[in-house]
Amino acid sequence: MSTTSLTLLDRLRQPGHPEAWERFARLYSPLLIRWAEFQGFQDADAEDLAQTVLVKLIRLLPRYERADGQTFRGWLFTICKNECRDFRTRRATRSLPGNAGLAEVAEPSPVDDPDEAEYRRRLVRRAMELIRKDFAPATWDAFEQFAMSGRAAADVARELGTSANAVYLARNRILTRLREELDGLLD
């Protein structure tokens, strides 16, 4: 692991960080698939589309610069939406399946923009799945009970056989790591 503290986006912009691309793909693939599903794609097509977007990002992300008023999420969603449109265009040029009615091949109307809160929930949830392995089970348990379930630190500490300070530290360590993981990705 690099000793330089770089955000994920910074590591993606620099050559020689394959682990950053792997982490980005693990973090964003479920979201890209969901966006494709919002655009009316079936599971297999949504997965193919997510892979297409990730391949495209290998070329685009190193040059990504946030424009005024632009969010990373908006930029990424635009790329996904454009790939959805291109996929439909490519598919539309293929011959129709035999004996298929128009209802079978009609395209659903795409969603203009997925809900911001849903985007944040999914991204945070996925980032938490990815960083969980970086912490001891007792630390994660303290975090979940205190920060996620809203239980009192003293109650969590008593149940886990630790101090309330250790519960506060667990929350702080995990939230700090989560912020590092999502730095620049949540605008």
Q: Give 6's pLDDT tier (boundaries 50, 70, 90).
A: low
b or e along 120-140 (b: 16 or more beta carbons within 10 Å of the residue's beta carbon)? eebbeebbbeebeeebeeebb
Give the burial class of 83: count Cβ atoms within 10 A of its Cβ; 0-12 exposed, 13-18 middle, 19 or more buried.
buried
Q: What pLDDT digit, counting tens, does each position of 85-121 carry?
A: 887 776 554 444 443 433 333 344 444 555 677 777 8
Crossing angle (nearest 10°) for helices 18-38 and 72-92: 60
Q: How many residues does the chain have?
A: 187
Tokens at 73, concatenated = 């999420």
| pTM exceeding the 0.75 threshold for the entire prediction | no
The residue whose two tokens read 């399946």 is 97
142, 162 contact by CB (below 8 A): yes
Closest by CA position to 77, among listed 39, 25, 27: 39
Tokens at 72, concatenated = 């990373």
Taken in order of first residue, the domains within the chain and their CATH numbers are: 1-113 (1.10.1740.10), 115-187 (1.10.10)
Tokens at 138, concatenated = 């007792």
